[in-house]
Structure 1
Amino acid sequence: MPKFLHTADWQMGQTYSRFDTEDGAALVEARYDAIERLAALATEHGCDAVLVAGDVFDAQTVSDRTIRRVFNATRGFNGPWVMLPGNHDAALAESVWTRARRLNAVPDNVHLALESGIVPLPEQGMVVLAGPLTQRHTYGDLTQPFDSIETAPNLLRIGLGHGSVQGVLPDDIDSTNPIAPNRTETAKLDYLALGDWHGVKEINQRTWYSGTHEPERFRNNDAGYVLIVDIEQPGATPTVTRHETARYQWHQWRESLSVPSDLDELLNRINELPEASVLDLKLDGTLTLAGDQKLTDALSIAEAKYRSVTCDRAGLQLEPTEDDIAALHADGYLGEVVQELREGQQAVNADDDAEVARDALAILAGLLISNDTEVAQ
């Protein structure tokens, strides 16, 4: 029973400039670790081959070190690897792939499918029909030639492509490269392994996207897995199982706060996240001064607990309660300043001014509370 592992969209060499240096470096390393995990999975499950459906590299200009590290990370599986160029690492006349060969970085068991055609793997009971991208964007279906390629009847016909299945995926995916939704039928494929959609997605019984092996964006589409595919014999229905390889979970929350219980619920959800989390928050609504301080303290704890926590509070307004004002002891001039800042948050045509007023009110409240604490001590 031939069995293979299907993966794609590694995007190696990708950087994370939006994150702090330490967090960005950890996210980069996680992508190498995930290659090692999928190689170990392929060995553990007795896979006959590993198929990588495009975008192994994030760009043609990745460093030589990145190239060497990628191929080093594959050493945990000694069987054949078939790597397909995608839209980020297209098989140009001069490309990251030709550079890898000049560096002598490509192991003997790694097959680079740089041209349209077949990669025969008779010992593994299959033939891989490859449709590599030779430029970043194409407007013809590179899997169409599969229809006319003849292979031995006793070998599985496995298609390997990278692009957008027409009429199925959203319009905002990474590339324009079209793929016919009925390609497995017209080309009599036992399975079509695809890349470009960064999450696991079943198109039909024989056509799947594996997604990326390690999440790299805030999109809830089942990223962070690989697929192990069993096909008993040519013509048999594939058995597809997904296996998690991700180190980090990415969460993007958009929350509106209006009453104290909203904040309590949010903080409980944050506290229940696994430590290997990347969290992006954007908040709007209103908070009391006490609630704002509670949020600030909770985020400070979370930043030390999780891989990365960012919070956009520009949409929040501070609405001090009478208890908040009393606790500040902001009489006389300070009381007037507090009131002016409260009113300043209501600016309709000056978002920047409203944000400055909110931040100033939070800072003033923090200073007054800190001062009271020091006096009490």
Structure 2
Amino acid sequence: MVRFLHTADWQIGMTRRFLTAEAQARFSAARVDVVHRIGRLARQQDCAFVIVCGDVFEHDQLTPQTVRRTLEALRTVEVPVYLLPGNHDHLGPMSVWSTPLMAEELLDHVHVLDRPGVHAVAPGVELVAVPWHGKHPQSDLVAPVLAGMDVPPAGTVRVLAAHGPTDLLDADGRHRAAIPVAPLREALSAGRLHYVALGDRHSRTEVGDPAIWYAGAPEPTAWREERPGDVLVVEVDTPPAAEGRTQVRVTPHRVATWSFLTLDRRVDSESDLDALDSELGALPDKDRTVVRLGLRGTLGLAQHARLEELLGRHEDLLGALDRPARHNDVVLAGDDDIVDLGLGGFLATAVEDIRAMAGGVPGDRSTPAAGTTEEFELEGRPGGRDGGAVRGVAFTPGEPDDAASAQDALTLLYRLARGGSR
């Protein structure tokens, strides 16, 4: 039996636009720290090696510090580590793998699978590597490697390491290089392969066969990921001399320290605000929890001011509190709160004008106006720039003079007049 650890999509060097500079620094450190935990798990599970199936790094424009810290983390892994270039860190003249720093400081027990085909990595163990040599291949990279591949010598375990989407999970067929699953299953049934280790999908996923797996990202990167944060310990029984299947056992192990959480709540009363406050307050590991919050409902001005205050308080504790405008529809109702402030003079006149404007339909902020501080990031498939969104704020200078900005102005005025802060 051969036991090894399958992981992928470390995405070291990743940045997220919804994180503050302080949170980004901790998020970046976590992506290196998880390598230490993977190494300890490999030792505890008596794994023969670790295979990282692509996207070790987020991109090629990395600082020397990032690369050196990654190599230092890999130094603590006590078994051989095999790194497969993926779409984010593909091979090429400008690749991170081609830098003098990598050539000079790469560790003896860390190997880059930069040549497609079979690699004999230990007695009785072969890795079949399918590295990326460009960011946008136009055809399946696995098929040429599998073509003409015979059954390995008796007693040899053969593992395919590849990166990219599969046809079973590419329903719209938009990826020209999608990996067909049927030929992989045929190779497994014929004994030409014994396990298929995949990277690119950040959610741990079995793909049409008990011996074909995405390990997922060991630290999550976005809300849309369903089962991130794991690595897989894989056991493959020594295959029989004859052709055919061998027994494979796959066990996930949790290694993540960060989490992404989506909350969609209705707020219409003080009790709703109490419940939201308690729910956010009860979250564990707040500094490593990124919350995407969608709110809808109708609140008075005082309640709206309280909502902004409590969200600001929790935002200070969380890794991030993301409030996409397209997921927020909280309407102000009633005039009593602003009347109770007893404002006079020109301020009272201005308040009347703002109240008249705020009585309209809340504006659509799905697209920011020039001069706003809202931040955007395109959403895409796992392994791409997924999970980005608008970072909501209570009041944004530069917004159009519409009902939504008028409501924000009233809320801010109320909080300031009551002695609160923005």
When normalised by structure 2's length, the TM-score is: 0.79
Residues 283, 312 of structure 1: 8 Å contact kept: no
Q: Secondary structure at the match of 1:127?
A: strand
- C-alpha displacement of 1:170: 5.5
> Would you say 1:200 and 2:210 are equivalent positions?
no
CA distance in 2, matches of 1:121, 1:134: 22
Q: Which residue of 1 aligns with 2:230?
A: 225
- C-alpha displacement of 1:327: 4.1
**Amino acid across the alignment from 1:328:** L
> Would you say 1:343 and 2:356 are equivalent positions?
yes
CA distance in 1, matches of 2:360, 2:30: 44
Unaligned runs of 5+ in 1: 372-377
Aligned residues: 368
Q: Which residue of 1 aligns with 2:403?
A: 354
Q: Secondary structure at the match of 2:418?
A: helix
Residues 305, 412 of structure 2: 8 Å contact kept: no
Q: Which residue of 2 aligns with 1:116?
A: 116
- C-alpha displacement of 1:90: 1.1
Distance 1:191 1:346, change over 3 A: farther
**Amino acid across the alignment from 2:229:** G
Residues 338, 414 of structure 2: 8 Å contact kept: no
Deviates more, 1:72-81 or 1:51-60: 72-81
CA distance in 2, matches of 1:18, 1:309: 8
Residues 202, 225 of structure 2: 8 Å contact kept: no
Unaligned runs of 5+ in 2: 240-244, 365-399
Q: Secondary structure at the match of 2:316?
A: helix
Q: How does 1:88-99 map to 2 (within 5 A)?
A: 88-99=88-99
CA distance in 1, matches of 2:94, 2:309: 52
Q: Which residue of 2 aligns with 1:264?
A: 274
Deviates more, 1:255-264 or 1:197-206: 255-264
Q: Which residue of 2 aligns with 1:190?
A: 194
> Would you say 1:215 and 2:229 are equivalent positions?
no
Deviates more, 1:205-214 or 1:243-252: 243-252
Q: Secondary structure at the match of 2:85?
A: coil
Distance 1:101 1:112, change over 3 A: farther
CA distance in 1, matches of 2:224, 2:138: 26
CA distance in 1, matches of 2:231, 2:335: 52
**Amino acid across the alignment from 1:305:** L
RMSD (CA atoms): 2.6
Q: Which residue of 2 aligns with 1:178?
A: 178
CA distance in 1, matches of 2:173, 2:274: 35
Alignment match of 2:250 (pick from 223, 240, 244): 240
> Would you say 1:368 and 2:408 are equivalent positions?
no
- C-alpha displacement of 1:72: 1.5
Identity of aligned residues (%): 32
Distance 1:207 1:310, change over 3 A: same
Distance 1:37 1:170, change over 3 A: farther
CA distance in 1, matches of 2:283, 2:333: 29
Q: Secondary structure at the match of 2:412?
A: helix
CA distance in 1, matches of 2:102, 2:213: 33
Q: Which residue of 2 aligns with 1:6?
A: 6
Q: Which residue of 2 aligns with 1:55?
A: 55
Distance 1:176 1:9, change over 3 A: farther
Q: Secondary structure at the match of 1:119?
A: strand
Alignment match of 1:316 (pick from 327, 330, 333): 330
Distance 1:82 1:260, change over 3 A: same
Distance 1:333 1:98, change over 3 A: closer
**Amino acid across the alignment from 2:74:** T
Q: How does 1:148-187 map to 2 (within 5 A)?
A: 148-150=148-150, 151-169=152-170, 176-187=176-187
> Would you say 1:33 and 2:37 are equivalent positions?
no
Deviates more, 1:325-334 or 1:105-114: 325-334
CA distance in 1, matches of 2:362, 2:315: 33
CA deviations over 1:275-327 (Å, ceiling 9, x no partner): 221123243432222322322232233123222223356643222464x3564
Greater helix share, structure number: 1
Q: Which residue of 2 aligns with 1:375?
A: none
Deviates more, 1:15-24 or 1:193-202: 15-24
Distance 1:59 1:312, change over 3 A: closer
- C-alpha displacement of 1:259: 4.3
CA distance in 1, matches of 2:87, 2:69: 21
> Would you say 1:142 and 2:191 are equivalent positions?
no
Q: Which residue of 2 aligns with 1:287?
A: 299
Q: Which residue of 2 aligns with 1:253?
A: 263
**Amino acid across the alignment from 2:201:** W
**Amino acid across the alignment from 2:154:** P
Deviates more, 1:360-369 or 1:140-149: 140-149
